[in-house]
Amino acid sequence: MGPSDDVLTSIEICAGAGGQAIGLHQAGFKHLALVEIDPYASQTLQENIASLEEWKWERDYCDVISGDVNHFVPIASGGDREPDLKKAQKYLGRPLGKGELHLLAGGVPCPPFSHAGKQLGKDDERDLFPRILELADELRPEAVMIENVRGIKDAKFEEYRTYIEARLQGGWATHPVTGIVEDFEGLGYRVCEWEVLEASDFGVPQLRPRAVLVAIRKDVLGDLKFVWPTATGIPVSVFQALKDSMKARYAPFKKMGGEIADLAKECHENWKVKARQAEEKKDFGVAPTLVGGSKKHGGADLGPSRAKTAWGLLGVSGVGVANSHEEGMRKKSWDRDLFRKEGPMLTVDQAAIIQGFPANWKFSGGKTAQYRQVGNAFPPPVAAAVGKAIADVLRAAHERDRRKAETAGALPGQVAPALADSADDLQGAHV
């Protein structure tokens, strides 16, 4: 199979358990590579791609690369090492070339900019903005999408944001390492601003603001305009999102009869009352931000004290994460999981609902590893909304260029090399 003008290709770094990948897939992008360092998250990606029919294209042509993105080699660089994209060559018919990829995306680690951390920014070893800029230089894709926490928009990071923008589109900025103000040539992109998008505006039953940067190559954008997605409607409440799964969790105990059935009915009703009451408040019964935590800390829970209090108002205990029904029955943990006075704890599957994952997407590893994958994810519906906005621009640009080529008497296949050539003209634009 060879490349098609109708297929929009993407490479995603720091892919996690697939939140952004799912959204971009729903927006019409086909992934050539998903790069993730966490072995459990990589396994999640591999197993879902292997089993889900809607991911058949990726099953044939996408490389899931489990490893450090700093060691990722997407295209031939003149060294001894071969590119990491193996399956992609089956689709392309050859190795990926510079300027041929449609989208480079990444949810680079948020701790350097998170309000929940020390906000070390560029001084944090987990800051991978430099790496995604290097990859943008190497690949010169038609568009770049970078997702991070809202904290990166804080005033203290303005200088660093300006540097990132200057690297992409040119301009004056302070180099974060040398401290010297430089006039950067840029990589040939136009930055379409940093936009903070609230997940609850896109059908996600959670208050989860995320900062997203979109940059589109200037020769691609031309006279077109990128339009940020707008809210899709009234927020979805936790009650609406979880009512079916809560009913299913309590149902087996209601069938047992006796005291345990009475207790199940009482606890289920208490949850419904609290969750419905929360719908009348200013947040419309939407959940607080889920947090995934880190490997340096203990087991999974639903966040700091303020978040736990907010979950309590929704009838949910935030002190931990419940076992699945099957695991709970084996461990006899229903008193802990379902029958607390404070309310039931969420299962991993319910946390995934709160993040907007599709029901058929499954997570690998133990409970804590699964929850961290879910809690650290970029909600798929938000990624889908941004991805569609990018896809609309790219498809419009391709149609515009096709018509120009036809008018000029060129064959359709002669258009793509021109884009690659324009990217090569910018080879020297680097730090």
Q: How many angstroms separate the Cα of 61 from the Cα of each of 20, 30, 89?
A: 18, 9, 8
Tell me the sheet residues that pair with 194: 213
Q: Please tell me the pTM assigned to this model.
A: 0.90
Among residues 14, 110, 192, 267, which one is catalytic?
Answer: 110
**The amino acid at 299:** G
Indicate if the pLDDT at residue 238 is higher than 70.
yes
Contact partners, residue 217, CB within 8 Å, separation at least 6: 140, 141, 142, 143, 188, 189, 190, 419, 423
- 375-409 confidence digits (pLDDT tens): 999 999 999 999 999 999 999 999 999 999 998 87
Give 108-114's long-range contacts (Cβ < 8 A, gap of 24+). 108/13, 108/14, 108/132, 108/146, 108/147, 108/148, 109/14, 110/148, 110/149, 110/151, 110/376, 111/294, 113/148, 113/149, 113/151, 113/152, 113/154, 113/157, 114/149, 114/151
Query: 317-333 burial string, b = 16+ CB within 10 Å, else e?
Result: bbebbbbbbeebeeeee
Task: Calculate what percentage of the chain has a pLDDT beyond 70.
Answer: 87
pLDDT band for 117, please (50, 70, 90 cuts): very low
| pLDDT at 300 (0 to 100) | 73
What is the per-residue pLDDT for 411? 57
Could you tell me the pLDDT band of residue 203, with boundaries at 50, 70 and 90?
Answer: very high
Compute the average pLDDT of residues 78-90. Answer: 86
Q: How confident is the model at residue 423 (pLDDT cuts 50, 70, 90)?
A: very low
Structure tokens at 354: 């709160």
Mean per-residue pLDDT of the chain: 89
Statement: residue 17 has pLDDT above 50: yes
**pLDDT higher than 80, residue 261:** yes
Measured between alpha carbons, how far is 62 from 55 in angstroms, rounded to an integer? 10
Distance CA 96, CA 30 (A): 14
The answer to whether 14 is a known catalytic residue is: no
Least confident of 40-54, 127-141, 288-302, 344-358: 288-302
